[in-house]
Amino acid sequence: MTNSSATMQKSVSNTALPSALANLTERVIRGTRLWRSEKRDVRAELESHFREGLEELAGEGLTEEAAIRVLCDSFGNPELTAKLIRRGKKRGRPMIVKIAISASIALLGAAGAGGAYVAYLTYAKPNPSIDYLETLNESIVEHAEEQRAWPVLRDTLLQFKPMPESLSALNPADVKPGSADWTAVQAWLETNRPLIPALAAAASKPYYGFVYGGSDTGEFMRRLAEANSDADLLARAAPEPDPLAPRLISLLLPHLADVRTVAWFLVYDARDHAAAGRYADAWSSLDLDHRLAAKLFEGKTLIEQLVGAAVMRMTCGEMRRILGEHGDALPPEMYATIVQSHLFTMQDALLVPHLDGERLMFQDAVQYVFTDDGGGNGRLIPSQFAKLQAMGTADESANDGFGVEAGLIATAARHADRRDTLAKYEELWNELARYRNLPLHDPNRALGEQRVAQLADSDEGRKYAARHLDAAEPQLRGSADSRMRHGQRGDARVGGAGEAPFGVWRLAGGAR
C-alpha cells in the first residue's frame, strides 16, 4: 500500500465525502422525492456505502482520485437508482399511510375535476389534421429508388443468414481467430460472404432512403419472419392499427437489429482476413462497415443515428486493433488504402446529430393528445395522455384503476393548453439548441440538460407535464451528444489522428 493510500484509508471515515461522491449522493437523494426522514436514512446508507468503498479501494492501493472515479463509474445511473430506492421505500411505508395517500389523491382529483370534466374525459377525442408522417418522408421519396440504399439493403438483409444462437450469446470481443467458436464463425462468414458486393452497392448509394411507416416495412417484417421462421416477428408484422395513437411514435424500425448483425459480420470477416494476412481485404470489410454506419446517420430518427454511432465506434475500435496487432506485418502499400478509406474522407458534418424528426414526433404527439378547437388550441385529453404514457411499455394495465384515472384528470385540469404547450416546447427547443451548438469543450453545454431537469421538477414543469412529455429534448440528449459528436469524433478523428496515422507512419517506414 502506498503512503497516500494508507493516509486516505485512515481519514475517509473522519471527513466529509469528496465533492464528486457528495454531489452524486445529493443527486440520488433529490431524485427519490421521499419524505424528509426517509431521505435522511437514504443519505446515511449512501454515505456509508461510499466510505466503505473508499476504504476498500484504498486498501487495494488506489489513490483517492482513482478510488472516487471507480466508485462513480460503478455506481450506475443515478436517476434509475433514485427510482428504485423510492419504489423500495414506498413499499416499506405503513399500509394505513398508503391507503390515506391514495384516498386523498382520488378524492382531490374527483373533486377538482367535477361532473362536467368527467363528461369531457369520456367524450373528448383528438382531431389530428396534419400528416406528419408525410412531412417526415417528403425529402426521402423525392429521390428515385435507384438512388436509395434501403431497397438494396432490404433485399440483402432478407437473404442474410442470421448469426447462430451459439455465437449471439458470446461477448464479441472474445470471438476471434483461435478461439473455441471460431470454426462456427468461419462457417457463418462463408455463408454470407456472397452478399458483400450487395452490401457495398447499398453503401455506395447517395441516399439512405428508408421510408417510414409504409407498407414496405410490414412486408419486410413478414418476409424476414418467414425466412427465419420467427413467429413473434410475423405477429408484429401486421399490428392492429390504432387510429388514436400518434403515428410517428408508433413507427417500426425492424431493420436496425439486422443492420447491427451485419456490422458484426463485417468485423468478424475483417478478423478472419487479418489472421490470414489478407490485410487489404480486412480493411475493405471495415471500410464497408463504416460506410454502412454512415447511412444510418441520414435517418430521421434519433435511434437510427445512435445505432450508426455505435457501429462506427465498433468499427473504429477494430481498425485500431488491427493496426496495433498487425502494424509490423502490413505492407507499405496499405498506406494509400487506409488514408483513402471512408474514415479519413467523410465530411465532418456527417456526425452532427439532426433532430428534426424528434421535433416532428412531439408535434404529432400533441395533435393526438390535445383537443382541437379549430383555432389551433385545445385541452389535454386524459385518456390520450395515458395512452402516450403506456406506449412502449410492456404493462399497458399500468394506467388502469380509479386512482390513476383521477390523477390523469387532475393532470389535464392543471396542464397548459395546446398553444402554450407548443410555444413552451419551441422556446425550450431553441434554448437547448444553443447549448448543443457550443464547442464540446465549453462547460456551458451541460446547462441544457440542467435546464430540462429543473423544468421537470418545477411548478412550471408540472404545468407542462415536463416529466412525462420530455420530448422537448430527446430522451438520449446527453448520450446523443457524447456518442455522436464527442465519443464518435473521439473514435473516428481523435483515434484516427492518434493511433491510425501512427500505424500509417510505421507502414511508411518510420518504425523500421
Q: What is the pLDDT of residue 430?
A: 81
What is residue 273's predicted lDDT score, i.e. its pLDDT?
A: 95
Residue 307 confidence (pLDDT): 92
| 3-state SS track over 155-223 | HHHHHCCCCCHHHHCCCHHHCCCCCCCHHHHHHHHHHHHHHHHHHHHHHCCCECCCCCCCHHHHHHHHH
3-state helix vs strand vs coil in the chain, percent to 5: 70, 0, 30
Output the pLDDT for position 195. Answer: 96
C-alpha cell belonging to residue 192: 454470407
CA distance 279 to 334: 8
**Under a CB-based contact definition with an 8 Å cutoff, are residues 425 and 452 in contact?**
no
Confidence (pLDDT) at 295 = 93
Please give the distance of CA 370 from its chain centroid, rounded to a whole number.
27
Q: What is the pLDDT of residue 90?
A: 72
- Tell me what pLDDT residue 64 has: 84
pTM value is 0.66
Distances (CA, A) of 346 to 13, 135, 166, 257, 349: 53, 28, 36, 25, 9
- Print pLDDT tens along the chain (512 aa): 455 545 544 554 556 788 888 888 888 888 888 878 888 888 888 888 878 888 888 888 888 888 788 778 887 788 888 788 877 777 776 766 556 556 666 666 555 555 665 666 556 788 888 999 999 999 999 999 999 999 999 999 999 998 888 888 888 888 889 898 999 999 999 999 999 999 999 999 999 999 998 778 888 888 887 877 777 776 766 667 778 888 888 888 888 989 999 999 999 999 999 999 999 999 999 999 999 999 998 999 888 998 999 999 999 999 999 888 888 888 888 878 888 899 888 887 777 777 888 889 888 988 988 888 888 888 888 778 777 777 655 444 444 444 445 455 455 545 678 888 888 888 877 877 777 777 766 777 777 767 766 665 666 555 555 544 443 344 434 433 433 333 333 333 323 333 444 334 334 333 33
pLDDT of residue 398: 43
